[in-house]
């Protein structure tokens, strides 16, 4: 493997600290660093648009993005916000690799960007890396579902008797 | 740390019997469309003191009586502060009172937040909805004796931005360098610039601000919110016996006589409303208990 | 409350009075300012009502009780206390089913509070062993916590207790299992055992001794004392029910999620009869009412029941929705949580809840079923109190 560039070393450090990737062994982190970049996102940017191909998997470093959906008679409905330490989406891992919701940037946001096809190739080449990432992805999906179920309960709502 | 129930403060108040004393409303403030805060002045010469987490029985002449937690600072207890959400006949009558009106007061009753045991530790306060009201005296206490505690973190979730209690105070607290305040709503309009998601989703953000093993957590909100919050705290390594919850049940007398608030072997009014989580965890998942 | 034991010199602890002398006792109590409450016949049942003379008492009746049934028959022997316990208990007098606890009046922008009248001094005539045990259970609830119920305390302090030893057991009785009877052992001013033409009287307090000093009596013979004991022993030997009390709280805890509650829930009507007739059930509600002008408000305390759906209304919704959950609450409270809360079981073995259940649910049978289900079938034993 080629010597890591300055950028790769920096990204390696960021990945080592990010909750999504921090448990991965060093060689996996190095491989992820070799395909990753850090991107700066501005309010109004979209990371994902419903129905469109997913280009990348984002690990948020700072700022805030919103998961949104549009409904003609209600306009844009914010569903959830994601911020530092969160990972954005799992559509990149599941065919047909298209987004199911909009992800809009709400505040200036910094993220590690992992290009989707390269990431999938890495996982295809190294099943051990794939298992680690999918396990982490599963736990993220599980906690999102739990949060969504609680949200559905509308637990603070009390109808007046 | 001792996780036996918080002991009762000595009964020394003339308001702690079966007869209400009438306090005068001196101020009323709207917090949300259905929630108001009342400031109540006791009759001249009547002492009143309480501990954070305790509640009073508030009586509206001829209408009825309900338990309402005390929301003001314990170090400055008069006038007595109550934040009330209008959900029934009595609470509706209470929020419609005006300065000058009289309110019958019995109390304070119940156990309090374990603020002495929490000294020297990180304190994480998790509030859901109106659950911030019984926790506010604990926050006042922590900030009043700030040097006695390590980190102070408040995680607060409400239904929508307009259901957030004490907004000005939240902003003030957020501006402080010696505490972390994270706020979320279950559903936010597009203009809401804050966090959207249930209160448990704030833990990822709060992670850098407290050491789970050295943390005392005070939790109040709907029971289901407290269950999932307790699990989240446990998952992150907060010791079970350092988690405290405040429960709610129908109450008539406030003194452990009327039987309504029984929760297994416990009387919520007398043995609680603040409980160490291990004391009630098994009951919180028992149906129709 | 009877506190001190009698001075044996003033009058012997066991004496004999003629049956008609009971009237002297009633008169003496009234002279002392007591209102005497005793067993009378009313609507085909024996209930406790104010009495002023001996002939007010229900003389010559026997009750025949079974699960869901109560019937009176003539007693050939014309005894005063051959029946056991009826639908009512002394709870109705120490902790009345409906009581004003305060009154408030608006006057010139102020609210004036009024305390209700001091309750009358009562003398209870005919308190059985299980009922005395029940009174002691309620004492723990209302007098021994961090708070005290002042109205109960006043009534209780003033009460004069004439106990009666049961010489017959009913078909739903199980005081022997519960360790509460039938021998009356403490907590009374006087205790009577009905013999052929006389009553053997045990003196249990100074107050009792003082009262007996005014009443014609003679010392009891050893034979009379032995005969009285024999009669109560006979009652002990003929209990209609038994309940195995071994580790009852543990059994209740293990049964919390038992499917058996659903089965009882199908039979139970949630009528609340069991809680109303129970001498230890203490739950109440408070009602605030105003007069038509809105100037006067009254707080009334009323017996409530954990069988009522509104009982658990929290922010407008009941928590114990199913009848099964309400029966579970009642039984696990009586036989389980009660011990944690008050240091004793909440059941004294009087059997009222069995007799007065319209569908005949029998807690001794339900406990037996739960024991079979949870493998705590056991040797006969009684709980120590």
Q: Cβ–Cβ of C297/B61 closer than 8 Å?
A: yes
CA distance B173 to chain C (A): 30
Q: Cβ–Cβ of B65/C312 closer than 8 Å?
A: no
Question: CA B263 to CA C340: how far, in whole Å?
Answer: 12
Give B117-167 pLDDT, tens digit per residue: 999 999 999 999 999 999 999 999 999 999 999 999 999 999 999 999 999
Confirm or reject contact between A157 and chain C (CB < 8 A).
no
**CA-wise closest residue to B199 among B154, B167, B143:** B154
What pLDDT shows up at residue C381?
A: 43
**Tokens in use for C110?**
């102020």
For residue C78, count CB atoms less than 10 angstroms from its CB and return exposed for 0-12, middle for 13-18, buried for 19 or more: exposed
- The answer to the question of residue A146 being in a domain is yes
Give C98-131 pLDDT, tens digit per residue: 999 999 999 888 899 988 888 999 999 999 999 9
- The answer to the question of residue A11 being in a domain is yes
H helix count then E strand count, chain B = 7, 15
CA distance C315 to chain A (A): 8
**CA-wise closest residue to C70 among C86, C57, C48:** C86
Please say if the pLDDT value at position C329 is more than 50. Answer: yes
pLDDT along chain A (161 residues), means of 10: 76 96 96 96 96 96 95 90 95 95 96 97 97 96 93 80 37
**Tokens in use for C77?**
């022997």
Cis peptide before C234 (omega within 30 of 0): no
Of A86, A107, A158, the CB nearest to B204: A86
CB-based contacts of C241, cutoff 8 Å, min separation 6: C171, C172, C173, C174, C177, C349, C351, C354, C362, C364
Question: CA B91 to CA C194: how far, in whole Å?
Answer: 58
Q: Cβ–Cβ of B259/C304 closer than 8 Å?
A: yes
How many domains does one find in chain A?
1
Q: What share of chain A is helix, strand, coil (3-state, %, to 5)?
A: 40, 30, 30
Give C260-277 pLDDT, tens digit per residue: 999 999 999 999 999 999
Question: CA C115 to CA B76: how far, in whole Å?
Answer: 32
**CA-wise closest residue to B129 among B155, B157, B153, B154:** B157
Residues of B within 8 A of A147 (CB-CB) are 197-198, 200-201
Domain B21-109 sits in which CATH superfamily? Translation factors (2.40.30.10)
Of A80, A107, A154, the CB nearest to B196: A80
Q: What SS3 state is found at A71?
A: strand
The CA angle B265-B59-B54, to the nearest 5 degrees, is 45
Please say if the pLDDT value at position C377 is more than 70. Answer: no
What pLDDT shows up at residue A161?
A: 37
Confirm or reject contact between B192 and chain A (CB < 8 A).
yes
Q: What kind and span of H or E run contains A138?
A: helix A127-153
What pLDDT shows up at residue B3?
A: 42
Average pLDDT over residues C255-263: 96
Beta strands B195-196 and B180-185 are parallel
Q: What kind and span of H or E run contains C155?
A: helix C150-158
Give C202-246 pLDDT, tens digit per residue: 999 999 999 999 899 999 999 999 999 999 999 999 999 999 999
Of B250, B258, B264, the CB nearest to C337: B264
Residues of B within 8 A of A160 (CB-CB) are 86-88
User: Directed axis angle between helix C323-332 and helix C260-267, to 10°?
Assistant: 110
Find chains touching chain C: ≥3 CB pairs under 8 Å.
A, B
- The answer to the question of residue A160 being in a domain is no
**Which CATH number covers residue A67?**
2.60.120.10
Please say if the pLDDT value at position C12 is more than 60. Answer: no
Q: What is the DSSP letter of B201?
A: G
**Tokens in use for B179?**
């505490």
Confirm or reject contact between A71 and chain C (CB < 8 A).
no
What pLDDT shows up at residue B54?
A: 97
Please say if the pLDDT value at position C21 is more than 50. Answer: yes
Question: CA C52 to CA C38: how far, in whole Å?
Answer: 9
**Residue showing tokens 């709610």:** B248
Average pLDDT over residues C58-87: 97
Residues of C within 8 A of A161 (CB-CB) are 315-317
Question: CA A111 to CA A84: how far, in whole Å?
Answer: 9
Q: Cβ–Cβ of A78/B88 closer than 8 Å?
A: no
The fraction of chain C above a pLDDT of 90, given in percent, is 87
Q: Cβ–Cβ of B204/A19 closer than 8 Å?
A: yes
Question: CA C211 to CA C207: how far, in whole Å?
Answer: 6
CATH topology of domain B122-284: Rossmann fold (3.40.50)
Average pLDDT over residues C168-197: 96
Q: What are the distances in angstroms from CA C298 to CA B68, B94, B175, C104, C112?
A: 21, 18, 49, 6, 12
What pLDDT shows up at residue B11?
A: 65
Question: CA C192 to CA C38: how far, in whole Å?
Answer: 13
- The answer to the question of residue A1 being in a domain is no
Q: Cβ–Cβ of C145/B19 closer than 8 Å?
A: no
**By CA distance, what is A107's nearest residue in B?**
B193
What pLDDT shows up at residue C2?
A: 45
Q: Partners of A59 in the beta sheet?
A: A87, A112
Question: CA B253 to CA B17: how far, in whole Å?
Answer: 10
Other Cβ atoms closer than 10 A to B245: 27
Please say if the pLDDT value at position C380 is more than 60. Answer: no
What pLDDT shows up at residue A7?
A: 86
Residues of A within 8 A of B228 (CB-CB) are 146, 150
Q: Cβ–Cβ of C315/B87 closer than 8 Å?
A: yes
CA distance A153 to chain C (A): 16
Question: CA B143 to CA B209: how far, in whole Å?
Answer: 16
Domain that holds residue A127: 6-153
Residue B99, CB half-sphere, CA atoms under 13 Å: how many?
Answer: 6
Give the number of A-C residue pairs with CB atoms closer than 8 Å. 7
CB-based contacts of B48, cutoff 8 Å, min separation 6: B13, B15, B42, B77, B78, B80, B105
Confirm or reject contact between A151 and chain B (CB < 8 A).
yes
Q: What SS3 state is found at C86?
A: coil
Residues of B within 8 A of C322 (CB-CB) are 288
Question: CA C40 to CA C50: how far, in whole Å?
Answer: 9
Q: Cβ–Cβ of C146/B63 closer than 8 Å?
A: no
CB-based contacts of C187, cutoff 8 Å, min separation 6: C2, C132, C135, C136, C161, C204
| Burial annotation C251-260 (CB, 10 A radius, 16+ → b, else e) | bbbbbbebeb
Give C353-376 pLDDT, tens digit per residue: 999 999 999 999 999 999 999 875
Residues of A within 8 A of C315 (CB-CB) are 158, 161
Average pLDDT over residues C63-84: 97
Enumerate residues 233 to 262 of chain B having a beta carbon within 8 A of any beta carbon in chain A.
Answer: none
Confirm or reject contact between A78 and chain B (CB < 8 A).
yes
Residues of C within 8 A of B91 (CB-CB) are none
**How high is the ipTM of this complex?**
0.92
Residues of B within 8 A of A154 (CB-CB) are 159, 186
Q: Best of C139, C142, C288, C295 to disrupt the B interface by mutation (most B CBs within 10 Å)?
A: C288
- The answer to the question of residue A75 being in a domain is yes
pLDDT along chain B (289 residues), means of 10: 47 86 97 97 95 97 95 97 95 97 96 97 98 98 98 97 96 96 94 94 94 98 96 97 96 95 96 97 94
Of A81, A85, A106, the CB nearest to B197: A81
Confirm or reject contact between B229 and chain A (CB < 8 A).
no
Q: What is the DSSP letter of B42?
A: P
CA distance A1 to chain B (A): 35
């Amino acid at each position: 493997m080629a010597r890591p560039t300055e950028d790769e070393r920096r990204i390696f450090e960021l990945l080592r600290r990010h909750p999504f990737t921090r448990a991965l062994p060093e060689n996996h982190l190095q491989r992820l660093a070799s395909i990753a970049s850090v991107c700066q996102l501005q309010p109004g940017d979209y990371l994902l648009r419903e129905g469109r191909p997913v280009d990348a998997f984002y690990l948020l470093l700072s700022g805030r993005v919103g998961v949104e959906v549009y409904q003609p008679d209600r306009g844009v409905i914010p569903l959830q916000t994601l911020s530092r330490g969160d990972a954005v989406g799992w559509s990149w891992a599941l065919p047909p690799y298209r987004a199911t919701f909009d992800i809009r940037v709400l505040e200036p946001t910094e993220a590690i960007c992992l290009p989707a096809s390269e990431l999938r190739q890495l996982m295809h080449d190294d099943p051990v890396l794939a298992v680690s990432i999918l396990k982490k992805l599963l736990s993220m999906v599980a906690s999102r579902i739990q949060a969504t179920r609680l949200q559905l309960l509308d637990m603070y709502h009390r109808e007046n008797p | 740390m001792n996780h036996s129930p918080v002991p009762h403060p000595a009964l020394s108040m003339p308001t702690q019997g079966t007869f209400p004393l009438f306090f005068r409303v001196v101020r009323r403030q709207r917090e949300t469309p259905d929630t108001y805060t009342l400031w109540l002045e006791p009759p001249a010469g009547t002492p009143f003191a309480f501990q954070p987490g305790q509640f009073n029985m508030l009586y509206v002449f001829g209408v009825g009586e309900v338990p309402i937690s005390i929301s003001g600072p314990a170090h400055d207890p008069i006038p007595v502060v109550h934040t009330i959400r209008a959900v029934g006949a009595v609470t509706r009558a209470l929020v419609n009172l005006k300065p000058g009106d009289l309110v019958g007061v019995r109390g304070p009753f119940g156990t309090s937040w374990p603020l002495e045991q929490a000294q020297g530790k990180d304190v994480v306060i998790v509030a859901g909805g109106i659950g911030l009201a019984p926790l506010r005296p604990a926050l006042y206490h922590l900030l009043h004796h700030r040097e006695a505690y390590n980190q102070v973190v408040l995680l607060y979730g409400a239904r929508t931005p307009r259901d957030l209690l004490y907004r000005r105070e939240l902003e003030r607290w957020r501006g402080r360098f010696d505490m972390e305040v994270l706020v979320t709503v279950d559903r936010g309009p597009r203009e809401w610039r804050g966090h959207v998601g249930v209160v448990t989703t704030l833990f990822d953000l709060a992670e850098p601000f407290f050491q789970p093993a050295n943390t005392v957590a005070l939790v109040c909100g709907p029971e289901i919110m407290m269950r999932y919050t307790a699990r989240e705290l446990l998952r992150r390594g907060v010791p079970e016996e350092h988690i405290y919850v405040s429960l709610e049940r129908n109450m008539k007398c406030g003194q452990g006589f009327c039987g309504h608030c029984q929760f297994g072997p416990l009387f919520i009014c007398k043995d609680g409303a603040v409980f160490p989580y291990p004391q009630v965890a098994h009951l919180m998942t028992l149906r129709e208990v | 409350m009877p506190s001190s034991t009698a001075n044996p010199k003033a009058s012997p602890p066991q004496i004999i009075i003629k049956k008609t002398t009971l009237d002297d006792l009633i008169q003496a109590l009234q002279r002392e300012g007591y209102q005497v409450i005793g067993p009378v016949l009313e609507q085909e049942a024996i209930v406790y009502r104010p009495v002023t003379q001996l002939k007010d008492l229900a003389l010559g009746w026997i009750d025949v009780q079974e699960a869901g049934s109560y019937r009176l028959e003539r007693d050939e022997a014309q005894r005063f206390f051959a029946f056991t316990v009826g639908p009512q208990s002394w709870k109705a007098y120490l902790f009345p089913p409906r009581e004003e606890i305060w009154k408030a009046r608006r006057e010139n922008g102020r609210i004036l509070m009024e305390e209700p009248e001091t309750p009358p001094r009562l003398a209870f005539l005919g308190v059985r062993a299980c009922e005395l045990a029940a009174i002691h259970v309620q004492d723990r609830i209302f007098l021994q916590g961090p708070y005290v119920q002042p109205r109960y305390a006043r009534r209780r302090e003033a009460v004069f207790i004439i106990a009666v030893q049961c010489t017959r057991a009913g078909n739903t009785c199980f005081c022997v299992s519960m360790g509460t009877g039938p021998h009356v052992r403490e907590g009374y001013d006087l205790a009577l055992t009905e013999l052929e033409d006389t009553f053997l009287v045990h003196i249990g307090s100074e107050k009792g001794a003082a009262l007996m000093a005014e009443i014609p009596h003679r010392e009891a013979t050893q034979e009379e004392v032995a005969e009285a004991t024999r009669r109560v022993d006979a009652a002990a030997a003929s209990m209609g029910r038994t309940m195995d009390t071994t580790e009852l709280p543990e059994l209740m805890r293990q049964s919390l999620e038992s499917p058996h509650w659903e089965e009882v829930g199908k039979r139970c009507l949630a009528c609340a009869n069991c809680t109303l007739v129970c001498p230890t059930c203490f739950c109440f509600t408070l009602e605030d009412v105003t007069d038509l002008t809105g100037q006067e408000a009254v707080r009334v305390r009323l017996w409530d029941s954990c069988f009522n759906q509104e009982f658990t209304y929290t922010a407008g919704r009941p928590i114990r929705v199913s009848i099964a959950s309400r029966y579970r609450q009642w039984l696990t409270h009586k036989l389980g949580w009660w011990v944690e809360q008050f240091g004793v079981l909440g059941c004294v073995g009087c059997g009222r809840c069995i007799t007065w259940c319209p569908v005949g649910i029998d807690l001794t049978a339900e406990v037996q079923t739960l024991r079979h289900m949870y493998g705590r079938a056991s040797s006969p034993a009684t709980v120590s109190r």
